[in-house]
């Protein structure tokens, strides 16, 4: 599970930061999931090590332009670049109508299935390996945060032990890897748990933007390995944050502290904190670290590998 920030500015792009988009790479299944898709996201993808052809799911928080203006262009390019089998898009009410209008007025046709799912609080997607859920946040328009939970899995399979015991390769290995009990052709009964290392806890990620501090963000981020939270404003500009329903860096840190997350990434920074201004991004970072020390500033193309942990 690898996170790559494709855009970390709020509202408008700057020379060093594009508008909102985060990619979650799942190498074990050769997939990339996007969270938000601001203008220029496809250009950012081309500058990264990610493969556009591996995008299978896109999760949209809300319909403000800096989170969706890159979506239509990316979808059109995906069809020309490699004909993906299908892309599923998840987002608030109105997202499907927006895409339909874009397609109609631009006379665009997708050469692959695009399915739009209107989300409601709760689970929005689940398969054998992952669960994605959402929760409403507190912004000027309908807005959702997302939580990705990887399901626990068996530890490393001891193939050397299996070979030493003369277990024939094939389907039996798969059953043992799942921790199941199997009976060999010679009558021996073996327990898969004896061939696997300690159970590995599934990794957890939460993505909360745009929002002012709210209890739902704390609930969504509870005990995650990584929380990505907007920090549009410095603590000194809290009045602006309340007026515009955005967070300060200290609000994001409070969410991280209350939710007992392991690592907080701040993103979605206002351009007002550019170098040369009285307040700069390091001030936002220091304010957040005073509350939650394990805080980092995100920047475009920053990549973070979420490590696996043995289940306690």
Distance CA 259, CA 241 (A): 21
Q: Is 39 within 8 Å of 47 (Cβ atoms)? A: no
Distance CA 94, CA 101 (A): 11
Closest by CA to 71, choosing from 17, 31, 35, is 35
**Average pLDDT over the chain, rounded to an integer:** 93
Question: Has 268 been labeled as part of a binding site?
Answer: yes
Could you tell me the sign of the dihedral formed by the alpha carbons of 210, 214, 216, 220, in that order?
positive
SS3 at position 256: helix
Distance CA 75, CA 99 (A): 10
DSSP state of 184: -
Each domain of the chain, given as residue ranges in start order, spans 2-153+199-310, 159-195
Give the Å distances, CA to CA, from 108 to 32, 60, 71, 73, 80: 24, 21, 13, 10, 11
Rg (CA), the chain: 22
Q: Is 7 within 8 Å of 38 (Cβ atoms)? A: yes
Q: What is the pLDDT of residue 152?
A: 85
Structure tokens at 187: 């009558």
Question: Has 62 been labeled as part of a binding site?
Answer: yes
SS3 at position 123: strand
Q: Which residues, at least 6 apart from 70, have a Cβ–Cβ distance to it below 8 Å?
A: 19, 21, 37, 38, 39, 40, 41, 42
Question: Has 139 been labeled as part of a binding site?
Answer: yes
pLDDT higher than 70, residue 311: no
Q: What is the pLDDT of residue 87?
A: 95
pLDDT higher than 70, residue 217: yes
- pLDDT digits over 18-29, tens only? 999 999 999 989
Catalytic residue numbers read 66
Q: What is the pLDDT of residue 289?
A: 98
Q: What is the pLDDT of residue 83?
A: 62
Distance CA 269, CA 68 (A): 17
pLDDT higher than 70, residue 312: no
Exposed / middle / buried, residue 276 (Cβ in 10 Å: 0-12, 13-18, 19+): exposed
Structure tokens at 35: 């969270």
Distance CA 267, CA 5 (A): 9
Question: Has 237 been labeled as part of a binding site?
Answer: no
- pLDDT digits over 47-70, tens only? 999 999 899 999 999 999 999 999
pLDDT higher than 80, residue 153: no
Does the pTM of the predicted model rise above 0.85? yes
Question: Has 43 been labeled as part of a binding site?
Answer: no
Q: What is the CATH number of domain 2-153+199-310?
A: 3.60.15.10
- Pick the more confident residue, 80 or 228: 228
Closest by CA to 227, choosing from 263, 253, 192, 181, is 263
């Amino acid at each position: 599970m690898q996170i790559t920030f494709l855009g970390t500015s709020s509202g408008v792009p700057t020379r060093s930061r594009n508008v909102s988009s985060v990619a979650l790479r799942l190498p074990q299944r050769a997939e990339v999931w996007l969270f938000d898709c601001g203008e220029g996201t496809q250009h950012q993808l081309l500058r990264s090590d990610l493969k556009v052809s591996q995008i299978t799911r896109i999760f949209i928080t809300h319909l403000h332009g800096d989170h969706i203006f890159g979506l239509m262009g990316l979808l059109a390019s995906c069809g020309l670049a490699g004909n993906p089998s299908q892309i599923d898009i998840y987002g608030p009410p109105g997202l499907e109508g927006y895409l339909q209008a874009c397609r109609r007025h631009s006379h665009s046709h997708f050469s692959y299935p695009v399915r739009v799912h209107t989300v409601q609080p709760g689970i929005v997607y689940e398969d054998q390996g992952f669960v994605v859920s959402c929760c409403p946040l507190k912004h000027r328009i309908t807005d959702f945060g997302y939580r990705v939970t990887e399901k626990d899995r068996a530890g490393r399979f001891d193939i050397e032990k299996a070979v030493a015991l003369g277990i024939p390769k094939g389907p039996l290995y798969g059953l043992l890897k799942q921790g199941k009990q199997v009976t060999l052709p010679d009558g021996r009964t073996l327990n898969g748990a004896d061939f696997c290392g300690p159970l590995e806890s599934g990794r957890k990620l939460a993505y909360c933007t745009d929002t002012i501090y709210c209890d739902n963000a704390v609930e969504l981020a509870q005990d995650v390995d990584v929380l990505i939270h907007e920090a549009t404003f410095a603590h000194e500009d809290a009045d602006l944050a309340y007026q515009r329903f955005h967070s300060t860096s200290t609000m994001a840190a409070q969410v991280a502290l209350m939710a007992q997350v392991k690592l907080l990434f701040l993103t979605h920074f206002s351009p007002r904190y550019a170098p040369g201004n009285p307040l700069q991004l390091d001030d936002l970072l220091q304010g957040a670290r005073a509350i939650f020390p394990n805080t980092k500033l995100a920047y475009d193309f920053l990549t973070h590998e979420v490590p696996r942990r043995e289940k306690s």
